[in-house]
Amino acid sequence: MHNRIPLLLVPGLSSTRLLWQKQIDALEDVADCWVSPLPAHEDLGAIADEILADAPPFFALAGYSMGGYICFEMYRRAPHRILRLGLFATTPYPERPAMARRRHMMIKKSETGYLAMWREVLPRFVAPSRSGDTVFLERMARMAYEGGATTFRAHQKAAAKRRSHEDLLPRITCPTLVMVGANDALTSVDEHRDFAARIPDAEMTVIPDAGHLAPLEQPDATTAAMRQWLTREPMALAA
């Protein structure tokens, strides 16, 4: 237990510790898990700065979806502190027009019914096998409720104006896990393969029968991939 690596987990939009709980419990023999707070700033760089200010001196870092955007900002600022990097259901690319329109629609709908908006869109976030699972989807709605409407709107605005991190990819030299659900309708498998190929020490994992919420939809497969990532030798040592 004394050799556990500090692992900072960054949730995504309207996500909480619940997103990572299965992984926290299952990886406790190899990782000392911290779940990052997500301050309600409208700028991802400001969020990254606040997280780094109180993070451990050196740590592994994993982010899901918007949490991945924040991870890119953190690595840009403090690559020497990040021992391993996990990028899950995310992208280094700037906002595309179709996604910008979708964010605007979600913000507008949230102003008149925040949870009603989430209950409408949540089936799109999961694999087809989960889209009719009302118990599972209601758990997700509860997580969104805990995140809160004000924070949701701030984070949507921050995500919409994010910068490109394509220039950063070849400079990420720590062991990196790029992971996505096979049925992710928001961030595609092909896009993940594209940016994973540009990170020198990256491994790519596709989680079967999972959409955009793989840590919750397929917790065992997600945990297995994370365990391998946390314990494998860096490329420089293996060479």
Tokens of 115: 């949870």
Burial annotation 187-205 (CB, 10 A radius, 16+ → b, else e): beeeebeebbeebebbbbb
Q: In this predicted structure, what is the pLDDT of residue 2?
A: 61
State the DSSP string of 180-209.
EETT-SSS-HHHHHHHHTTSTTEEEEEETT
- pLDDT for 237 equals 59
Q: Write out residues in the chain with pLDDT < 70, as ranges.
A: 1-2, 236-239
Q: Catalogue all structural domains in the chain, each as residue range(s) with its CATH number.
A: 5-95+158-238 (3.40.50.1820)
Q: How far apart are CA 217 and CA 182, in angstroms?
A: 11
Question: Of 44, 46, 103, 106, which Cα lies nearest the Cα of 70?
Answer: 44
User: In angstroms, rounded to a whole number, what is the distance separating the alpha carbons of residues 90 and 214?
Assistant: 12
Cβ–Cβ under 8 Å, residues 74 and 52: yes
Task: Return d(Cα 104, Cα 234) in angstroms, integer.
Answer: 41
Q: What is the pLDDT of residue 63?
A: 98
Q: Dump pLDDT digits (tens) for 158-185.
A: 999 999 999 999 999 999 999 999 999 9
pLDDT at 221: 98
- Tell me the average pLDDT of the chain: 95
What is the per-residue pLDDT for 235? Answer: 75
Question: Rounded to two decimals, what is the model's pTM?
Answer: 0.95
